Amino acid sequence: MKSIGEALATVMESFAPVGTERRALLEAHGLFLAESTSARWDLPPFDNSTMDGYAVRAADLAGASESSPRVLVVARKSRAGGPLPGPLAKGSACRIFTGAPMPEGADAVVIQERIERESEQVRIAFEPEGRGLEDTRS
């Protein structure tokens, strides 16, 4: 019986590096990149939300809990495909939808399931771990 090292050496003898070649993108299906690549520009060209909810300033929610929720005024909406929203003022929230642009000043999204909305205000309470808050900073 061969040892693991001997078996590995036998197997590795069957492998050798392959060469590289340039291909048009449409001809490259099923192939692998030989070197790193990056996009020339960001798409979309703005930070966007990955979920439906409310864009907020995380600092506005410091200390929020079930017994001491934070109440924020819903100042605006941001929809996918819509215009960039204006800046988010302290103490306010922006109703936001998946793919929509984040307002300037917002650094988190509270998922809609964690919100109690009353007219133009939202009540936000968190468990100690802060579940339900998505950090949008990269």
Domain holding 89: CATH number?
2.170.190.11
pLDDT tens per residue, range 81-129: 999 999 999 999 999 999 999 999 999 999 988 888 887 777 777 544 4
Q: How far apart are CA 92 and CA 119, in angstroms?
A: 14
Tell me, yes or no, whether 22 lies in a domain: no
Q: Which residue, 102, 99, 91, is CA-closest to 124?
A: 91
Category of 10 on φ-ψ map: left (φ > 0), alpha (ψ -120 to 50) or beta: alpha
Q: What is the dihedral of CA 117, 125, 57, 121, to 10 degrees?
A: 20
Query: How many independent structural domains does the chain possess?
Result: 1
Tell me, yes or no, whether 87 lies in a domain: yes
Looking at residue 135, its pLDDT comes to 58
pTM (2 d.p.): 0.66
Range of the domain at 65: 53-135
